[in-house]
Structure 1
Amino acid sequence: MIELGPGPSFLEYLNRDRPDLLPANRAAVPSDASGQVPHGTTIVALGYAEGVVMAGDRRATMGNVIASRHIEKVFETDKYSVVGIAGAAGIAIDIAKLFGVELEHYEKIEGTRLSMEGKANRLASMIRANLPMAMQGMSVVPLFAGYDTFTGKGRIFSFDITGGLYEEVEHHCVGSGSPYARGALKKLWQPGMGASATVRVAVEALYDAADDDSATGGPDTVRSLWPVIYTVDSTGAHRVEESILAAMSREIIAERTASAKES
């Protein structure tokens, strides 16, 4: 049984009383086992006039095998923030969920939310703690974004496997499909875009990533599988409805099919 103290950090309780429950303290894995673990890829985040958009595809892979077509890689962590995960899927999902519990616990104990910098630093410390697993090929590279209620702006933070923390401007992406998604973002994103136009750019970026990266899954009209996309603004984090993404994805596919026929 965990005995909670007065401190605001749930992670401190686990470190003190049940370190075995932390994702970073899992048993060591063989050095050649990382290829047998599902990995998630390609998360994009981009700012818009009122906040930020984060989107992730639905595919997880084990080497050259598709492990899942239904995985969700973007999670709401509190009312004003979301996190997207790339890397070893099991550990990454555990870290994302534990991060959400950490923010909720802090808010209940302190009666206020952490600042965006505070949230990003908490997540960076969790990634840093996972470094031994990362050195065994079980790395986790998240993308964190949210609406800063102090500045009234959307903000994006990226990380490296050592827990290094970097604030990004305009847009950013992580995962194996990120080089191709980044090209789409550079071409299509513009300052001051509205939420709907920015969501469409995110879908186009994931479509381009899937076109060139086998580990990234594009919109699947046969199985009715669409990206997971959140908008975050002054009203909070909101998941974009699948009906909207379905219509948007089919429109993009139709436009690209027509363009291909013309060429």
Structure 2
Amino acid sequence: MEANPRSTGRLPAAFLTPGSSSFMDFLSHHSPDMLPGKRSLPPLQGAIEAPHGTTIVAVSFPGGVVLAGDRRATMGNMIAQRDIEKVFPADEYSAVGIAGTAGLAVEMVKLFQLELEHFEKVEGAQLSLEGKANRLSTMIRSNLAMAMQGLAVVPLFAGWDVDRQKGRIFSYDVTGGRSEEVGYASTGSGSIFARGAMKKLYREDLTEEQATTLVIQALYDAADDDSATGGPDVARRIYPIVTVITDEGFRRVSDAESAEIARAILERRLEQPDGPRAALL
């Protein structure tokens, strides 16, 4: 980007030139080196040790969608952080949960938030939920070179579709491939165990409170079988981050609410260690 003569006090010409409503397009034209996907790594002799986020889950209910994540980050066989935050608001009506290389994932989320904010300021309206999901897909695809070197970012995106008046969930692969999920979804190292729990407990008529309980149950089951996923930590008062998106917008469930549900689940698991049982027929 061209330097601005400080004596004039004016913005550089790049900021005044009409163009796309995409902030990423703006960067790619005027300062491509600032885009995460444009960076390259030297040839590697082995795997890069970096903190990784693990399990993210999402469940839809008639009034919206719940997106939640555990709090553990791992680095190899070590616990790198016990209270990492993996679920963030993307804008007023959507949220994103991160799994994969934590540093790159958080940076991608910040750029995604800026992308949506920039679009709204330029166009005077929010991007559709479908459009947001597509923008995130493009950003993940731009990280493919890093993913091929073991630094992948695989988020889960959820939000309230203002046009369709319902909650929707989108999952991704490392190439940016996007899939819309029905009912529930999970990503990260403990996703297979979380998905199994949700598969048995999910119903289409869940209330918001039941959906919130379900995601914490699923994260508990994931932590039970996956060492990289952290369950509710009562001793340290660290509980899963749970967010709800409805027609009223994004809301983060308070720590007190999460703690109350987590304690109730732990109390029940003293009697049933494997959790709730689904009916055979």
TM-score by length of 1: 0.95
The letter for the 2-side match of 1:73 is K
Task: State the alpha-carbon separation in 2 of the partners of residues 233 and 199 from structure 1.
Answer: 13
How do 1:1-263 residues align onto structure 2 when only pairs under 5 Å count?
A: 3-4=14-15, 5-6=17-18, 7-28=20-41, 31=44, 34-260=47-273
CA contact (8 A) 1:29 1:136 kept: no
The letter for the 1-side match of 2:130 is E
Task: State the alpha-carbon separation in 1 of the partners of residues 219 and 181 from structure 2.
Answer: 19
CA contact (8 A) 1:177 1:210 kept: yes
The CA RMSD measured in Å over matched residues stands at: 1.3
Shift of 1:166: 0.8
Task: State the alpha-carbon separation in 1 of the partners of residues 44 and 246 from structure 2.
Answer: 42
Shift of 1:187: 1.3
Local SS of the residue matching 1:246 = helix
Shift of 1:23: 1.8
Structure 1 ranges of 4+ moved more than 3 A? 29-35
Consecutive unaligned residues of structure 2, counting only runs of 5 or more, are 4-11, 274-281
The letter for the 2-side match of 1:136 is Q
The letter for the 1-side match of 2:86 is K
Q: How many residues align?
A: 260
Give the greater-gyration-radius structure (CA): 2
Deviations 1:149-176 (A, max 9, x none): 0010000111111111111111000001
The letter for the 1-side match of 2:76 is G
Q: Which moved more, 1:3-12 or 1:105-114?
A: 3-12
Q: 1:32 to 1:117 in 2, by over 3 A?
A: farther
Deviations 1:207-252 (A, max 9, x none): 0000100100000001100111110000001000000000110110
Consecutive unaligned residues of structure 1, counting only runs of 5 or more, are none
Local SS of the residue matching 1:20 = helix
Shift of 1:33: 5.4
CA contact (8 A) 1:127 1:140 kept: yes
Task: State the alpha-carbon separation in 2 of the partners of residues 203 and 29 from structure 1.
Answer: 41
Local SS of the residue matching 1:258 = coil
Q: 1:32 to 1:193 in 2, by over 3 A?
A: farther
Shift of 1:144: 0.5
Task: State the alpha-carbon separation in 1 of the partners of residues 53 and 143 from structure 2.
Answer: 17
Task: State the alpha-carbon separation in 1 of the partners of residues 141 and 272 from structure 2.
Answer: 46
CA contact (8 A) 2:52 2:73 kept: yes
Task: State the alpha-carbon separation in 2 of the partners of residues 89 and 33 from structure 1.
Answer: 19
Shift of 1:29: 5.2
